[in-house]
Amino acid sequence: MRILLPARIVERHVGGNTTYSRELKTGLLARGHAVDSIPAGGNPITTLLRETFASQASQSSETVLHFTADTGPLLRSRSPAVVTVHGVASRWINTARNRRQEAAWRFRVQRAISSVDRIITVSNSSAEDILATFKVPQSDISVIPHGISPAFFEAGASRDTMGETSAPFALYIGNLEPRKNLINLIEAFAKPPMASIGARLVIAGRPAWNYAEILKALEGAENIEYLGFIDNSTRMSLLKKARLFVFPSLYEGFGFPVLEALAAGLPVATSRRGSLAEVAGPSWELSELNADALARDLSRAWQDEDWLTECSVAGPEWARQYNWETSVEKHESVYREII
C-alpha cells in the first residue's frame, strides 16, 4: 500500500501528534509500505486547501490518505481515507480553547469525519467523547492506542546509575496550554506542603496556545525552572534524574508523557481525567486539581519512599503493553478494510 500522511504534522514538531505520526510512518515503512507526505502550505488556509486537493486527486487503488491530527479535507475524499481524532476536551472542560477556536475546531473535525471512510481514535475514553459529540455510528470508529518507544525503557534501565547532580526535582513535560492545568501546578509549588520540603519543579515544553497567563505565572516563580522546548537527549536525561513526574491535566485523549515517564521507571503523579484513567496504571492519583490539593497530594507522593520504589518497578511493566508494532499492525488492518 501507499499511505499519504500530512506534512503539517509529520515534518513539524507539534507534540504528541508528531510523535504518533512519525512512529506510524516508521512502522509502515518497516512493513514494506510506501509512505509519502501531503504537502503543507505556508499558512493554515493553504494547508487546508492542499489537503482537500489531495483528497480529490486521482490516486492508485492501493493508496490511503490518513489525516493524523483531528482535521482533514473539506470535501468527501475520492480515495480511501482515515482521520485520527485524539479526543474532545471541550466535552468536559471549557478552558481548552476560546469560543472562536472551539467553533473552528469542531467545524474542521465534523468536515473531516464526514469526508473519510473511518475514524481512528486512541483510547476508549476518546471514542466515547467522539460518539457523544459528533453522533457518528460506533462502527465507524476504531480504537487503536499508541505505543511507547523502546528508548524510554532503556532510559529507565540506567536510572539507578545516575548520580545526583543537584537537588531533587519534580518534572513536567508537555505543551503549555490551559488544559494542562499548569497555573495550579506552579502555584502548588509555592504552597507550604511543597515549599517546606524544598521540592523544585522543572517544566519543559513548547508554548502551544493561550499560554500568556502560564508564562506570566512562571516569571519570578521560586523553585521552578522553565526550559522551553527540549530535544530527545535532554528529555531522556531529565527522566533519568527526576524524582517525580507530575501531570495534573484536566483532560487527555491519550497521555504520552505519563506512559513515557512510567516506561523510564520514573514515579508519576497524575490526574485520571479522560484517557488518563486508562493509561495511568500504578501512578499516584491526583483526585483534586486546585493548587491547595495539588500541594498536599504531591507532598505526600514526594515523601512516600515505599510508593516511589513500587512505582519505579511497576511502571515499566505497565507501559510495555503499549507498543508501536501492535499499533501499526492495527492501523494496517484498518487501511485494508477500507480499500
Residues 282 and 205 in one domain: yes
Residues 286 and 176 in one domain: yes
Nearest to 253 by CA among 229, 232, 289, 279: 279
pLDDT at residue 127, rounded to an integer: 97
User: What is d(CA 264, CA 315) in angstroms, rounded to the nearest whole number?
Assistant: 8
| pLDDT band of 163, cuts 50, 70, 90 | very low
Helix (H) or strand (E) holding 226: strand 224-228
pLDDT in tens, 39-98: 999 898 999 999 999 999 988 889 999 999 999 999 999 999 999 999 998 888 887 788
pLDDT at residue 54, rounded to an integer: 94
Residues 156 and 168 in one domain: yes
Residues 135 and 157 in one domain: no
Residues 18 and 133 in one domain: yes
pLDDT in tens, 183-240: 999 999 999 999 999 999 999 999 988 899 999 999 989 899 999 999 999 999 999 9
Residues 88 and 189 in one domain: no
In a 13 Å sphere around the CA of 38, the CA atoms on its Cβ side amount to 29
User: What is d(CA 177, CA 183) in angstroms, rounded to the nearest whole number?
Assistant: 10
The pTM assigned to this predicted structure is 0.90
Residues 142 and 18 in one domain: yes
Residues 263 and 116 in one domain: no
Q: With the CA atoms of 109, 110, 112 and 114 taken in that order, what torsion angle do they form, in degrees rounded to the nearest 10?
A: 160
pLDDT at residue 165, rounded to an integer: 45
| pLDDT band of 157, cuts 50, 70, 90 | low
Average pLDDT score over residue span 273-281 = 97
Residues 159 and 196 in one domain: yes
pLDDT at residue 250, rounded to an integer: 96
Q: Write out the residue range of the structural domain in which residue 124 sits.
A: 2-147+323-338
Share of the chain above pLDDT 90, in %: 86
| pLDDT band of 15, cuts 50, 70, 90 | confident
Q: For all residues of the chain together, what is the average pLDDT?
A: 93
Total structural domains within the chain = 2
Beta bridge partners of 200: 169
CATH of the domain at 216: 3.40.50.2000
pLDDT at residue 156, rounded to an integer: 65
Nearest to 142 by CA among 1, 335, 10, 286: 335
Residues 280 and 200 in one domain: yes
Share of the chain above pLDDT 70, in %: 96
pLDDT at residue 166, rounded to an integer: 57
Q: Are 96 and 253 in contact (CB under 8 A)?
A: no
Residues 111 and 250 in one domain: no
**Rg value, the chain, Cα:** 20
Of 10-14, 126-130, 190-194, 209-213, the range with the lowest mean pLDDT is 10-14
3-state secondary structure at position 200: strand
pLDDT at residue 129, rounded to an integer: 96
pLDDT in tens, 283-315: 999 999 999 999 999 999 999 999 999 999 999
pLDDT at residue 97, rounded to an integer: 83
DSSP 163: P
Please give the angle made by the CA atoms of 23, 27 and 30, to the nearest 5 degrees: 140
Q: Are 304 and 197 in contact (CB under 8 A)?
A: no
Residues 92 and 176 in one domain: no
